[in-house]
Structure 1
Amino acid sequence: MERRNFQIYSIPGYEEEIGRWLWCLEDVRKSLIKKLTTINPNLVDKKIDERQTISSLLYHIALIEADWFYVEVLGTEWDSEIRSLFQLEDRSDDGALIHIQGQSLEEHFYRLNKVREVFLSHFRTMDLNDWRRPRVLEHYDVTPEWVVYHLIEHESHHRGQIFQMLRELQND
């Protein structure tokens, strides 16, 4: 049996503490992508009991990451290139995730990777003071540190949903 190493590292090129949090964010994504590259691509659009599809969850993960980055961390309008990756809103009128269908895994991976690339590039120049400096918004204050924590939690949750859906779909 291969010996495994369970440690958190700091991604090179970042302030060490920030790099450790970003390593965790990247680790969640790595396990999601690794699993999805082994599946039958037709499963991403398949529904179980009217629940959302894997496609809808992948779209949602990328959109939420972009939104937290532009609104809460930067406090700016979205970059037009990133905005163009999201032709649909996140939710329907009834509050359910928007139904995404007909996009390949490669399209989903491109969207996820492009958002993450822009996200990570911003943190290369961030110091710990800015990392912990609250952004004052209308209804709450939030730090970039908390945003990264939240995105780790958010993607981990949806990764679990996706993995459960895959178990059910692959047993059909």
Structure 2
Amino acid sequence: MILVERRALLVSALPGYEEEIGRWLWSLEDVRRTLKAELTGISQNLLDSKIDERQTIGSLLYHIALIEADWLYEEVLVTEWDSEIRALFPFGCRAEDGSLSHIEGQKLEEHFYRLNKVREVFLSNFRTMDLTDWRKPRMLEQYDVTPEWVVYHLIEHEAHHRGQIFQLLKKLRNGSIFLK
């Protein structure tokens, strides 16, 4: 008989937040936790390699952080970006051809620092938020959006790119492709 360790698969609220908001933020954090756990210790070569001229893992990590910061400042806070956060993004989101900006040569620690710093600022702006503000639409030129929807979208966005990263990492580790 093989004994398998029993786990509890539960969603908890992040401490220090309104309960419902904290549960959504826990989910956002859980996606990030699994992403970082899988990438910890990967080589620079894996971080910078492309398959079929698609984006690198580094490019996807940069994109994830940039989009999170953008949604925070543009949609949730509707304000100018903090200069410290803006400085983390010397490149735009996309190249002229519409592909993600190509990021190469940045160490994993730099990517993790950027992801962590943006998340720290993101979470700090939700600490004092109540459910009224959580569900209050921000009236923007092209659409109305609530912080609740922004967090939902960022969970979906990062989970999607996490899947791409894991798939790319698997192919790279299996050596089943030609590294460029």
1:75 paired with 2:78, answer: yes
1:25 paired with 2:28, answer: yes
Contact 2:44 2:105 in 1 (8 A): no
- Corresponding residue to 2:165 among 137, 149, 162: 162
| Alignment match, 2:108 | 105
Amino acid in structure 1 at the alignment position of 2:74: V
Structure 2 spans left out of the alignment, 5+ residues = 176-180
Offset, 1:2: 1.6
**Percent identity between the aligned chains?**
74
Offset, 1:82: 0.1
Amino acid in structure 1 at the alignment position of 2:58: S
| Alignment match, 2:64 | 61
Larger Rg: 2
| Alignment match, 1:145 | 148
Amino acid in structure 2 at the alignment position of 1:134: P
Alignment of 1:12-51 (within 5 A): 12-51=15-54
- Corresponding residue to 2:119 among 107, 116, 119: 116
User: Please, what TM-score do these two structures have when normalized by structure 2?
Assistant: 0.94
Q: Deviations over 1:43-66 (max 9, x none)?
A: 000001101000000000000000
Structure 1 spans left out of the alignment, 5+ residues = none
Count of matched residue positions in the alignment of Structure 1 and Structure 2: 172
- Corresponding residue to 2:88 among 85, 90, 98: 85
1:11 paired with 2:14, answer: yes
- Corresponding residue to 2:5 among 2, 10, 34: 2
Amino acid in structure 1 at the alignment position of 2:150: V
Cα distance in 2 for partners of 1:66, 1:40 equals 26
| Alignment match, 2:178 | none
Amino acid in structure 2 at the alignment position of 1:113: N
**CA-atom RMSD in angstroms:** 0.6
Cα distance in 1 for partners of 2:45, 2:117 equals 23
Cα distance in 2 for partners of 1:109, 1:39 equals 12
Cα distance in 2 for partners of 1:52, 1:2 equals 38
